[in-house]
């Protein structure tokens, strides 16, 4: 967590009062909460009234996808357009709507670098004119980091509501809700140095969608529940800190990313970088190590004090191919030989050097154990 977020959280935890209460303690907390709302609105350039707090990015995605779909159904619009490599927090609610609510899903393919095919999107919008409830395309992919041209997506959509999962990109690269012209966007605190368990849906003002939770009527009656004021205030502190330092940090992290790739390629020449290095998030690198097992690689690196991710969904200990990498054209074998490395401005060149010094032996051991040919 960012130091500013830790200080804000600790300070707010000591304050008594429910932000929905009318007594002086409650009003004091509410004042802090609304100041936090304004801080987050400033960081993503939207109106304060457009910030709806949730517990997680997954909840915010569910609220956006289901809420916009149910609103569309009232106008006989049952088509959802999305990409083939969305995060599960978007993909799974859409699958649920298809299975339980009769939604018709149109998946837009991506190219080998992880960018959606805009011609396919144009065709889908044209073919289903007047039937589309919403379009949901993530701003930046969580496994390969590719950044989509959301402004172009919005332009193609016309009057169709567009939602973007911006959890990975908020605070890391330039992101303006107002400039992009989005209907809805999802952001989360823990990706930019804030606490776990607090996120937000940015929803265009004046737009009423169907809520997923019902209760006390908080957050424009769209997300009922007692406010987690300490985490919300901490979220705002982290967002303000990230936005103030974004350009410098982005440059630093991109430098570390280049160093990491060079270091790995020097030790393991056959390693393949997935995605585009320039039109991508500064700190996410997806690398395939042919004929290895990614789970084994992860554990071997963990034993060396290096944390990374397989970038694939794991269920009950069973490794599954990454739908993101499969959508980009990788084989099942290649997806289960791939690791995702995540960097921040707090990482150092020495840590990259440490990875470079052990990666060759780790890959050799994984190859010997994997049985892949």
Residues marked active site are found at 314
- d(CA 230, CA 368) in angstroms, rounded, equals 50
Rounded to 5 degrees, what are φ and ψ at 200? -155, 150
Closest CA to 65 of 39, 95, 40: 95
User: Sheet harboring 199-203: ordered strands across?
Assistant: 51-54, 199-203, 184-188, 162-165, 132-136, 79-83, 104-108
Rounded to 5 degrees, what are φ and ψ at 106? -115, 115
Burial of 269 (0-12, 13-18, 19+ CB in 10 A): exposed
- C-alpha distances (whole Å) from 256 to each of 143, 262, 264 are 18, 10, 12
- C-alpha distances (whole Å) from 214 to each of 34, 75, 100, 225 are 22, 23, 20, 8
199-203 and 51-54 strand pairing: antiparallel
79-83 and 104-108 strand pairing: parallel
- d(CA 274, CA 114) in angstroms, rounded, equals 8
Q: DSSP assignment, residue 78?
A: -
Q: Who contacts 216 (Cβ-Cβ below 8 Å, separation ≥6)?
A: 20, 224, 225, 226
């Amino acid at each position: 967590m960012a130091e500013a977020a830790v200080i804000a959280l600790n300070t707010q935890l000591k304050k008594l009062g429910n932000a929905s209460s009318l007594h002086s303690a409650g009003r004091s907390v509410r004042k802090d909460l609304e100041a936090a709302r304004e801080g987050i609105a400033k960081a993503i350039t939207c109106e304060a009234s457009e910030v709806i707090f949730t517990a997680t990015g997954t909840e915010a995605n569910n609220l956006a996808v289901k809420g916009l779909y149910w609103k569309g159904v009232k106008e006989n619009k049952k088509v959802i357009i999305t990409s083939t490599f969305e995060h599960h927090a978007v993909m799974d609610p859409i699958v649920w709507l298809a299975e339980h609510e009769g939604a018709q899903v149109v998946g837009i393919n991506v190219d080998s670098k992880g960018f959606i095919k805009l011609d396919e999107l144009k065709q889908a919008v044209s073919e289903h004119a007047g039937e589309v409830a919403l379009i949901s395309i993530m701003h930046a992919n969580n496994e390969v980091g590719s950044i989509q041209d959301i402004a172009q997506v919005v332009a193609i959509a016309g009057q169709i509501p567009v939602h973007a999962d911006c959890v990975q990109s908020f605070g890391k690269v330039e992101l303006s809700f107002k400039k992009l012209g989005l209907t809805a966007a999802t952001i989360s605190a823990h990706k930019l140095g804030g606490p776990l368990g607090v996120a937000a849906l940015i929803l265009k003002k004046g737009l009423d969608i169907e809520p997923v939770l019902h209760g006390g009527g908080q957050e424009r009656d769209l997300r009922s529940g007692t406010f987690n004021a300490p985490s919300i205030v901490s979220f705002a502190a982290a967002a303000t800190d990230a936005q103030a330092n974004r350009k410098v940090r982005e440059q630093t992290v991109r430098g570390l990313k280049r160093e990491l790739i060079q270091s790995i390629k020097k030790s393991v020449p056959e390693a393949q970088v997935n995605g585009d290095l320039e039109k991508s998030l500064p700190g996410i690198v997806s690398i395939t190590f042919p004929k290895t097992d990614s789970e084994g690689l992860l554990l071997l690196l963990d034993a060396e004090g290096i944390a990374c991710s397989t970038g694939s969904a794991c269920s009950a200990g069973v490794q599954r191919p990454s739908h993101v990498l499969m959508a980009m054209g990788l084989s099942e074998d290649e997806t289960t030989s791939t690791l995702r490395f995540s960097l921040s401005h707090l990482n150092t060149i020495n840590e990259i050097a440490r990875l470079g010094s052990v990666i060759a032996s780790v890959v050799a051991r994984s190859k010997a154990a994997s049985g892949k040919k």
